[in-house]
Each structure stands twice: as C-alpha cells, then as structure tokens.
Amino acid sequence: MTGGLVAAVLGALAISVGVQGLENGLARTPPMGWLAWERFRCNIDCENDPHNCISEQLFMTMADLLVSRGYTSLGYNVVSLDDCWPEHERDEQGKLQADSKRFPSGIPALADYMHKKGLQFGIYEDYGNYTCGGYPGILGHLKTDADTFAEWGVDYVKLDGCYADPKDMDQGYPDFGNLLNATGRPMVYSCSWPDYQLASGMTPNWTSIIATCNLWRNFDDIQDSWTSVASIINYYGDNQDDIAVNAGPGHWNDPDMLIIGNYGLSYEQSKSQMAMWAIFAAPLIMSVDLRSIDPKYEAILQNKEVIAVNQDPLGIQGRRISKENGIEMWTRPINPSHGDEHSYAVAVLSQREDGIPRPVTLTLKSLGLTSSDGYHVTDLFDNYNLGVVHPDDEITVHVNPTGVVLLKCVLASAQ
Ligand code: GLA
C-alpha cells in the first residue's frame, strides 16, 4: 500500500470511527458461547453442591466440554461468568475480587485457562450500585473496573442494569464502553441498557446503543419453559419494526440464552428455539449442563446448517411475514446473493398445541421470494431436498405442534 493510500484509509477509518462512536470491530457475526446464568443461577453453596455451584471448577469443566465435544470448532468460543462470582466487598484499592473460596485460583488464572484452550473469557458486572444478585456494581468504579477487566484478560463483558436509574444509562453505558476501549484490549460489550429503559417506559436511543454495544438485551429474562421462549418470539415479531433494523455486523439484538437441553423444552420446542434464534441473527449463548446434555439436544445445538444461517455474514435480522391460526412465516435474507437478490432462510413456526403435524401450503412468492430462476430448497433439520422451487410453485410442509420447519432457499441464479 502506498503512503498516500495508507493516509486515505486511515482518514476514512477515522471518519467512520467518528461516525460510529464506539465501534470496536468485534462481533462481526453474532457471538457464540456458554453462559452460566439460566441453568446455574446464583448457586453459591459449594459445600453442599460442589458440582453445580458457581465456582472456577464449573467454568473449567464447561470449557473442557466445549472443546472435547466439538462445540468450539462450530464457533461456540466464549465461556462467561454471570452474577455471583465476586466477593461482597472490593479490596483496599477498590478493585473487584473473586470469591476466594469458590475461585481460589483467581480470575486471571481462569481467563488464562480459557485462552490456553483457544476460548475467550467473559465476565459479568452491573451498571449500578449492586448486581441483580446484590454483589458490588460498577458505579463509582468505572475506570478501575474497565482497567481490571483488561488486566485480567477478559474478552467479553456483560453489563447488567439492576440498582441503577435507567435515565443515567444513556451516559453511563457509553462511558463504560469508552473506558473498555481505552484499555486497548478488545472486549465484546453486552448491554442490558435498552431492556431496563423499555421496562421503565423510556424510548431507547437506538443510534447510541448500536454505536456503543456489540449486543443488547431488550426483553425479559429467559426462563426454562416454552411459555418464556414463545413470549420472546412474540416480542420480536410484534416489535420488529422498531428492533430488527438495529441488528447488523458488530451490533445484535440479544433475545437471551439458548435453554436447549435443560428441563423445560420438548425436542420440537428446542428446534424451534434454535431456528428462531437463527432467524433473529441472535447471539447463540448456551446455558446448559454440558456434562449431562442428551445427545439429541446436543445435535440441535450443533446443527451446522442452522448455525451457518445464524452466522450469515450479511447480518440481516429476519422478520415475521405472517401469523395466522397459530402458524407463523418468518424469513431472513442470507448469502449467497446475486445483485439485489438474496437467498433466504424460511421458518414455518407453529404455536399451535393441537396434536397433529399441520400441513402448510405456501408459495415462495407469498413470502417475498421472487427470483424467477427459483431457489434450491432444503430442510435444515430433517435434511431433505425439495429441489428447485420457483416463486409460484406450491409446496407443502408439515409442522409439528410448537415445532418448526426451517428451510434454506438458495438463489438458483447465484450458483
Ligand atoms: C438479570 C439479567 C440476567 C442475569 C441476572 C443475574 O436478571 O437479565 O440475565 O444476569 O440478572 O442476577
């Protein structure tokens, strides 16, 4: 590259950094990994429940399994603490400290353990006086905490919003993001800012959120049930005009963790969560006990084709096209593209509970897929090929109660 070109590129970069605020160049596709909260909560009872309590052992074990069971090679590469990891008091310098009984080796050693396995290490804190679980929050310690995280080798920070005034977050979340960036250590920044503001009736400043956070929660915590998953899907559909446009490379809506493999979802419902999180371009953050997950559920989490839809480089969040009699059609534009035309992932989701697989007849045209050369259509869970389907052709799929059919429709003209 010539000197002039370098200067021009740097200039353009400076302009784009200026315009995009905190853009840190991370999370070009939705983050993937493992997070403790949904499955392991704030279980700090290591005396009576040593295998399930929040301790360094739990995170090391999960890291081992991510690697040995092949999750890492599919992209699941962040292991993250959630609440309840620190001591209740900061040290004499005002620094956070890990609970010394449950994390005897300390956080830098745990981060190191992850790095040696090719994994990234995530931490949890809260923009408030306390975390939701009552541990120290960052208020009054923003710079110390950002610097500490960098010094400890943290790669990913989830910043919650309990015990804070949502009105302060428009200033506070960007301030902390700036401090993270100023450390010089790249750290993915996961925010809860819009969730707390929406819950208090405020209208979030999406421009600022997009420029500040790599991902952000905007709705209730996921719980271990289909009712919870369905409420999130409905929220994403009902509010898509406000939220879908905010997603793109580097900045994603976060509908919360994958609960596949736990107690609350059936096999069909697990496929539905995986398919919908792929349509949403959602972070794929599992919260499950990898020591005991049933292979059938592991296979859902490890479905390469569905992961590829989720990780599609266009980074366009999908939308609900229709909802009728409990049957919903969702589409997401994906690569390969040809000119203005895209390939698509299509989810036919049933929220019906009456027992039979429901026949659904559709044309691709009715979903907005109009390329005259047609599309090569495959089913991504049942792994069958429907051949080339033209926009006006009728196809019929059978969708099980609270289940999904996920189709990949690849532009014939792009091949
Ligand atoms: C909030 C967050 C959850 C989890 C808990 C921890 O509820 O939304 O994801 O981090 O706090 O206390």
Whether residue 44 has pLDDT greater than 90? yes
The whole-chain average pLDDT of the chain stands at: 95
Rounded alpha-carbon distances, angstroms, from residue 40 to 55, 79, 81, 174: 11, 14, 10, 30
Distance 161 CA to ligand 1 centre (A): 9
Residue 19 has pLDDT above 60, yes or no: no
**22 — pLDDT class (breaks 50, 70, 90):** low
Pick from 192, 218, 256, 257 the residue to mutate for probing ligand 1's pocket: most ligand atoms within 8 Å of its CB. 192
Token pair 């902390």 is found at 176
CATH of 3-310 among 3.30.450.30, 3.20.20.70, 3.50.50.60, 3.40.50.12780:
3.20.20.70
Contacts of 227 (CB under 8 A, 6+ apart): none
pTM recorded for the entire structure: 0.95
In this prediction, residue 64 carries a pLDDT of: 98
pLDDT band at 23 (very low <50, low <70, confident <90, very high): confident
Is 4's pLDDT higher than 70? no
Report residue 105's pLDDT band, with 50, 70 and 90 as the boundaries: very high
Band of the pLDDT at 109, cuts 50, 70, 90?
very high
168 and 119 Cβ atoms separated by less than 8 Å: no
Reply yes or no on whether the pLDDT at 176 is more than 90: yes
Instruction: Give CATH 3.20.20.70 domain extents, the chain.
Output: 3-310
Q: How far is the CA of 144 from the centre of ligand 1 (A)?
A: 22
Asked if 211 and 193 touch (Cβ cutoff 8 Å), the reply is no
Q: Choose the catalytic residue: 82, 126, 155, 160.
A: 160
If you average pLDDT over residues 26-50, what whole number do you get?
98
Q: If you measure from the C-alpha of residue 221 to the centroid of ligand 1, how many angstroms do you get, rounded to a whole number?
A: 7
* Tens digits of residue pLDDT in 272-296: 999 999 999 999 999 999 999 999 9
Specify the residue with its C-alpha closest to ligand 1, atom 4.
Answer: 37
- Residue 18 pLDDT more than 60? no
Three-class HEC string of 15-53: HHHHHHCCCCCCCCCCCEEEECHHHHCCCCCCCCCCCCC
Q: Where in the chain is the domain with CATH 2.60.40.1180?
A: 319-414
Exactly one of 112, 170, 220, 221 is catalytic; which is it? 221
The architecture in CATH of the region 319-414 reads Sandwich (2.60)
* Ligand 1 pocket test, candidate residues 82, 135, 256, most atoms within 8 A of CB: 82
